[in-house]
Amino acid sequence: MDLDDRTRVADVMSTPLETIGANAPIRDAARRMHDGGISALVVTTGGGCIVTQSDVVGAVADGRDPEATAVRDVMTEDVETVTPDLMMQEVAAMMTMYGVKHLPVVDDDYVGMVSSTDIAEHLS
């Protein structure tokens, strides 16, 4: 990443933020991600959780029923977040350090999502 690049999260994050309830079946999460062309949803539990394509695929690969398995059973908890004014270099470093591909963007409340795909598109 260009060290002179002054691009901030707000310039590349995905909005509007897509959410899903913790009690929804993972089939609904998969459908929402597929239809929206996105790979993660913030789970509306009030506690920094997301569900990703990897979470859903892992559950299905383990033989779990997509209609009977709730988002809360497969979601990623205690997710790191970023603010809209953070520089993209810092976001890339955080993703590498934490081994994640998605970071919810928070500005008093959830306002968007930044992903490794957003970083790659920004660099291209």
Q: What is the mean pLDDT of the chain?
A: 91
For the chain, domain boundaries: 7-121
Name the amino acid, one letter, at 24.
Answer: A
HEC readout, 31-88:
HHHHHHCCCEEEECCCCCEEEEHHHHHHHHHCCCCCCCCEHHHCCECCCCCECCCCEH
Q: For the chain, how long is the longest CA-to-CA vector? A: 49
Instruction: Give per-residue pLDDT as tens, 18-61.
Output: 999 999 999 999 999 999 999 999 998 767 899 999 999 999 99
Task: Considering only CA atoms, give the Rg of the chain.
Answer: 15
Q: Which single residue is written with the structure tokens 């990623």?
A: 76
Which fold is adopted by the domain 7-121?
Answer: CBS-domain (3.10.580)
pTM exceeds 0.85, yes or no: yes
Handedness of CA 46, 59, 56, 105 (dihedral sign): positive
Question: Which 3 state secondary structure label does DSSP give 28?
Answer: helix
Question: In the prediction, which pLDDT does 80 show?
Answer: 92
